Structure 1
Amino acid sequence: MKKIGFLSFGHWTPSPHSQTRSASDALLQAIDLAVAAEELGADGAYFRDHHFARQYASPFPLLAAIGARTSRIEIGTGVIDMRYENPLYMAEDAGAADLISGGRLQLGISRGSPEQVIDGWRHFGHLPSEGATDADMARAHTERLLDVLRGEGFAEPNPNPMFSNPPGLLRVEPHSEGLRDRIWWGSSSNATAAWAAGLGMNLQSSTLKDDESGEPLHVQQRKQIEVYREAWREAGHTREPRVSVSRSIFALVDDRDRAYFGREGNSKDQIGYIDANTRAIFGRSYAAEPDVLVKQLAQDEAVAAADTLLLTVPNQLGVAYNAHVIESILTHVAPALGWR
């Protein structure tokens, strides 16, 4: 069995061709799609986090709302940019969302991607320490978050508090037991995958990765997963880690599918630069008749190696069509590959 969920970037634009013409549309439809995905038997509803953009941001109200409307499906992010986050405030928000959902939160975090604005994290009040980079700051915020999520007291109580305190040092509340083991790191390189394993985080590998060998994306990701799992073993963690990969996959089962994605059938990996110094490989899209998709996906080494597959969805096409995209994979593709 392989867990199958969806990943939405939450795009919205005031265009007559978009089903999400406002932030309100995008958010409310995200809740409806998560409910529909649960009813279809999908395993996860995941959401991207981008600041200063017409996409999802501030994920915790959305996750809490979905947690209140659903009962089984995992809810998560892929990913939250840790350069922008106050780790203690984030621990409070995450703890509340996890408790509302009954312990279903799967929180994907990372250093973040190229931004809409220059050094946007500065506007949120965050500055790297002297001699450090913004990536260093993101990792420092992450390590602090992980420490806080352990639930151990660290703050000295006021001797004259407004309300009575339990004995000893105080922790951030609300605390959700087990959330610390459901933090994922979105890694674009082998080195950061190993770093995440050392800290006991699960691994998310997206449709974009640092091009470290010139090989196809799925091969590089499979090797990244191997590096991660070896680092996990060396760290001596006792639980089994989880690994997800993201893919754009469309089963062409009706005329709508062929009109929207028929031309994606010849898609290939692409090489580009996400900043001046980082050469990256961008993964292909899969779009074909179900029997062809089964053969293509059987050759994807990273999908085979991961326990979780996140389907990127075109959210601007509306809830009904995106539910159809998810159902097509669950019905026509997953059983033939042994995922269901």
Structure 2
Amino acid sequence: MKKIGFLSFGHWAPSPQSQTRSASDALLQSIELAVAAEELGADGAYFRVHHFARQLGSPFPLLAAAGAKTRRIEIGTAVIDMRYENPLYMAEDAGAADLIAGGRLQLGISRGSPEQVIDGWRYFGYAPQEGESDADMARRHTQVLLEVLRGKGFAQPNPRPMFPNPPGLLRVEPHSEGLRDRIWWGAATNATAEWAAKSGMNLQSSTLKFDESGKPFHIQQADQIRAFRAAWTAAGHEREPRVSVSRSIFALVDDRDRAYFGSSESEDHFGYIEADTRAVFGRTYAAEPDVLIEELKKDDAIMEADTLLLTVPNQLGVDYNAHVIEAILTHIAPALGWR
């Protein structure tokens, strides 16, 4: 069995070709798609977070709203850029959203990706400490968040509070029990995957990773997953970790599918992000169901992961994206033993 969800970047553009022409459209349709995906039997509704962009940017109102409108499906992010986050305030927001959702929040966080503006986190009031890089700052924020989510008191109470306090040091409220075990790290390298394992976080691996061997994308990603699991075992954690991979997968079952994705390229790409960082970008899978099933059997990373996130073209609207998800659940997942 494999959990299958969708991942939306929440793009919007004031264009007649887009079904999401405003931020309002992107947000409200994201909630609608979460509801539709739950009705179809999908397991997760995940959202990407980008700042200074015409995409989903502030995740917690969206997560809370989607959690309130659904009852079963996991609600998550993939990923929140921790360079921009106040970890204590984030713990409050995440705790509230998780309680609204009844403990279904799956919070994907990371160092982040190339940005729309230069050092955008500085506009949010954050800067690396002396000797730190921005990636170091993201990991420092993460460690604070993880500690706060344990729910232990750490703040000295006021001797004359406005309201009565419980005994002892105070913690951030609201606290949602179990959320600490539902934090995921989006890793682009084997080393950061191993760091995530040592820190007791689940692993999210996206449709790209830094090129560390020149091998095909799915093989490098599978190697990363195995390195993560080995580090998890070595760390001695008691629970079993979870691992997700993201893929662009389209079953061509009608004329719309063939018009949109029938000519999609089906090869990995190597390129550069952030100046001199060489990366490998995963292929798009688009084929008739019988062909698609055989292609996916050969993807080592998908087979290694317990969770598959389908990246959806959200600007094509809720109805079409629900169709994309339903086609995978109906035509592909049962043949691969995922359902």
TM-score, normalised on structure 2?
1.00
Q: Residue deviations 1:110-148, cap 9 Å, x none? A: 000000000000000001000110000000000000000
Corresponding residue of 2:281: 282
Corresponding residue of 2:244: 244
| Alignment partners' CA distance in 2, 1:328 and 1:159 | 60
Identity of aligned residues (%): 80
In structure 2, the residue corresponding to 1:263 is in which secondary structure?
Answer: coil
Q: Residue deviations 1:236-258, cap 9 Å, x none? A: 00100000000000000000000
Q: Give the letter for the 2:256 counterpart.
A: R
Q: Give the letter for the 1:270 counterpart.
A: H
1:276 Cα deviation from its structure 2 partner: 1.5
Q: Which runs of 4+ in 1 moved over 2 A?
A: none
Corresponding residue of 2:207: 207
Corresponding residue of 2:7: 7
Q: Give the letter for the 2:122 counterpart.
A: R
Corresponding residue of 1:186: 186
In structure 2, the residue corresponding to 1:78 is in which secondary structure?
Answer: strand
Q: Give the letter for the 2:36 counterpart.
A: A
| Alignment partners' CA distance in 2, 1:203 and 1:176 | 21
Corresponding residue of 1:303: 302
Corresponding residue of 2:81: 81
Q: Residue deviations 1:42-100, cap 9 Å, x none? A: 00000000000000011000000000000000000000000000000000000000000
Corresponding residue of 2:267: 268
1:277 Cα deviation from its structure 2 partner: 2.3
Q: Give the letter for the 1:296 counterpart.
A: E
Corresponding residue of 1:338: 337
In structure 2, the residue corresponding to 1:77 is in which secondary structure?
Answer: strand
Corresponding residue of 1:107: 107
In structure 2, the residue corresponding to 1:212 is in which secondary structure?
Answer: coil
Corresponding residue of 2:36: 36
Corresponding residue of 2:314: 315
Q: Give the letter for the 1:27 counterpart.
A: L
Aligned residues: 339
| Alignment partners' CA distance in 1, 2:123 and 2:256 | 43
1:267 Cα deviation from its structure 2 partner: 1.8
| Alignment partners' CA distance in 1, 2:299 and 2:250 | 15
Q: Residue deviations 1:206-262, cap 9 Å, x none? A: 001000000001000000000000000000001000000000000000000000000
Q: Where does the alignment leave 5 or more consecutive residues of structure 1 unmatched?
A: none
In structure 1, the residue corresponding to 2:263 is in which secondary structure?
Answer: helix
1:275 Cα deviation from its structure 2 partner: 1.1
| Alignment partners' CA distance in 1, 2:273 and 2:235 | 31
| Alignment partners' CA distance in 2, 1:177 and 1:63 | 17
| Alignment partners' CA distance in 1, 2:90 and 2:276 | 31
The two structures, once aligned, show a CA RMSD in angstroms of: 0.4
1:285 Cα deviation from its structure 2 partner: 0.1
| Alignment partners' CA distance in 1, 2:199 and 2:25 | 37
Q: Give the letter for the 1:287 counterpart.
A: A
Q: Give the letter for the 1:189 counterpart.
A: T
| Alignment partners' CA distance in 1, 2:56 and 2:216 | 30
